[in-house]
Chains A and B, each alone.
Chain A
């Protein structure tokens, strides 16, 4: 048999049927559901009198709209409350497994799924959320879908799809001090652009990727969509298997060895052919900071805000000029001279225990700068929060002047009360610096957790590789 990519293997294992033009029905193993993109799908099923094909494949949790403080009082915003209550009701009506807001397992769907062992290697995983690419860290074929597709998967356990192309992003060498998976992700997007991965599934490989923890790999695959790729992938290794062992939804002892033997086949074969290959040298990647309104507008922390006048492509130049106006930045300003107003440590990109540990190391014994009005730490799940508290991280953050919140998407997209006011500038560990993403008129700079914590302490960006 020809050498196959990891993506080939995952795709081939899930094709139910395929037409001559390549349109296929792909079987879906795991369907994650949250409150924002599911109500219309459940309603569609009800109107058509359809049932869920396989209720056990679904795991539901409210994350986008949930408050991160004063949760025992419920959700104040009546529209948001109705949406969460609608999820509760739909899950009750259809018998879906849901972690409600009061459940310690509640959290961001892309943190909860892996944490529970609900995401397993070799699975297809979908969710009505673009950051479903996160789950590819486990060598699962995982990507975001729209609400019509959510309904389709609910009713048929399948997705209508065509095979993507495969891209290999190889990061060789070893990451330097203070350089994390987030910096690797931003550096890759800076290189390929936000549309560079459009039409591709990206496999991340190379020694720097092998050296990442599962949390780091999730951060990297999470950001695949910001590079345009619906799916990111990392091959299975011992890190993957060790992470999953003993998790609630992971295979039990009687089938564990069988599962692990299969999982170890989930890598690209030697000689497998990719339609595109991109290589980076880990040693050249520095801590990254975005300066504009697209994740590709990114530079190293020791660099400067670029000058649009230097850009030859007129569309790019105009985009950069608009971005600088929106961001309130001057060309050629050193990144480390940019003062910030708020800090957000959280989101499905960077709210796992390793992220909180990295931020806490920087914050320990320090105080948030006086020009920083709000520094939020929002754990990715109730279990991450409990783990962090068991390690005393909450005390470090609170002593330094950070707020320690309950789990949810929070200020990544500001659907709840956590948001930026117009003109406010934020060092954020989230994934999108789009106009208005964190609040209308808000200005987002994407960074790693340690970089965000360091910015909170200094009041401006600092190069943590030099601390």
Chain B
């Protein structure tokens, strides 16, 4: 997994609540058996004017210029700002894969759906929960200031605004450690093989029908 420490970036404002994972990456692209390459189809139905299918040359497709992702000002944004309940619906990890492949590293919203939130940390993406009022302030600041950028610092758990305002954010200690160091969970868990084996043996002895 890619490390995440800090970044300074333009912020793409996606002013919607309940952005679901079907919208982040529509179902037809889930037929892929690969982990990479979903970026050009992130938000496909909002981003293009035609119907997308796997295998199309996305560079030739008509863009929906009303959609924020296509606006010149937000090109290269590594931070995505959205409203409540971002990432709801399907557990498809293709959603964080698509966002990461597109170039996002941070998503800021007042709240996230649990499974999506969890999936982000497995893919070098940092989801940040921020009060709805602060999120609203950020939307307004982006609208007011063309060159608005944020600095996100994971080590110190701080978001710095251009005017010097700093927002602190919470992050789970274990997830922070993994993200800062680019660690995958499996290797870490396998350090506890003996404990898992002992637990399993005891459980199966007590509930023999689980292995019958």
B63 to chain A, nearest CB (A): 16
Which of A21, A155, A316 touches B172 (beta carbons < 8 Å)?
A21
How far is A53 from B203 in the complex, measured between Cα atoms in Å? 15
A453 within 8 A of B: no
List the 6 closest pairs (A to B, CB-CB), nearest first. Answer: A251-B209, A148-B122, A146-B93, A146-B119, A39-B33, A144-B91
How far is A16 from B208 in the complex, measured between Cα atoms in Å? 18
A23 near B185 with CB under 8 A, answer no
B189 neighbours in A (Cβ, 8 Å) = 25, 152, 155-156, 158, 160
A48 neighbours in B (Cβ, 8 Å) = 186
A294 to chain B, nearest CB (A): 5
A155 near B190 with CB under 8 A, answer yes
Which residues 161-212 of B have a CB within 8 angstroms of A?
172-174, 184-186, 189-190, 192, 195-196, 199-200, 203, 207-212
A148 neighbours in B (Cβ, 8 Å) = 93, 119, 122-123, 184-185
Instruction: Name B209's closest neighbour in chain A (CB-CB).
Output: A251
A52 to chain B, nearest CB (A): 13
Given A16-B196, A157-B200, A415-B28: A195 in contact with B85 (beta carbons within 8 A): yes
B22 near A435 with CB under 8 A, answer yes
The count of residues in chain A whose C-beta lies closer than 8 Å to any C-beta of chain B is 78
Instruction: Name B114's closest neighbour in chain A (CB-CB).
Output: A230
B109 to chain A, nearest CB (A): 11
Instruction: Name B31's closest neighbour in chain A (CB-CB).
Output: A79
B88 neighbours in A (Cβ, 8 Å) = 194-195, 228
Total residue contacts A-B, CB cutoff 8 A: 186
Given A65-B31, A146-B122, A228-B88: A436 in contact with B23 (beta carbons within 8 A): yes
Instruction: Name B52's closest neighbour in chain A (CB-CB).
Output: A440
How far is A302 from B176 in the complex, measured between Cα atoms in Å? 50
Which residues 90-137 of B have a CB within 8 angstroms of A?
90-93, 96, 111-115, 118-119, 122-123
B55 neighbours in A (Cβ, 8 Å) = 79
B33 near A37 with CB under 8 A, answer no
Instruction: Name B123's closest neighbour in chain A (CB-CB).
Output: A148
B93 neighbours in A (Cβ, 8 Å) = 37, 40, 128, 146-148
Given A130-B89, A228-B88, A319-B16: A40 in contact with B123 (beta carbons within 8 A): no
Which residues 52-93 of B have a CB within 8 angstroms of A?
54-55, 83-85, 88-93
Among B22, B28, B32, B203, chain A packs the most CB atoms within 10 A around the CB of B28
How far is A149 from B122 in the complex, measured between Cα atoms in Å? 8
A17 within 8 A of B: yes
Interface 1/0 per residue, A19-63 and B, CB below 8 Å: 101010101010000001101100100001010011010000000
A130 near B212 with CB under 8 A, answer no
How far is A294 from B113 in the complex, measured between Cα atoms in Å? 14
B35 within 8 A of A: yes
B22 near A21 with CB under 8 A, answer no
How far is A318 from B22 in the complex, measured between Cα atoms in Å? 20
Given A315-B84, A434-B22: A36 in contact with B30 (beta carbons within 8 A): yes
Which residues 406-452 of A have a CB within 8 angstroms of B?
413-415, 432, 434-437, 440
A434 near B211 with CB under 8 A, answer no
A130 near B123 with CB under 8 A, answer no
B115 neighbours in A (Cβ, 8 Å) = 130, 143-146, 225, 230
B160 within 8 A of A: no
B23 near A440 with CB under 8 A, answer no
How far is A56 from B212 in the complex, measured between Cα atoms in Å? 10
A23 neighbours in B (Cβ, 8 Å) = 172-174
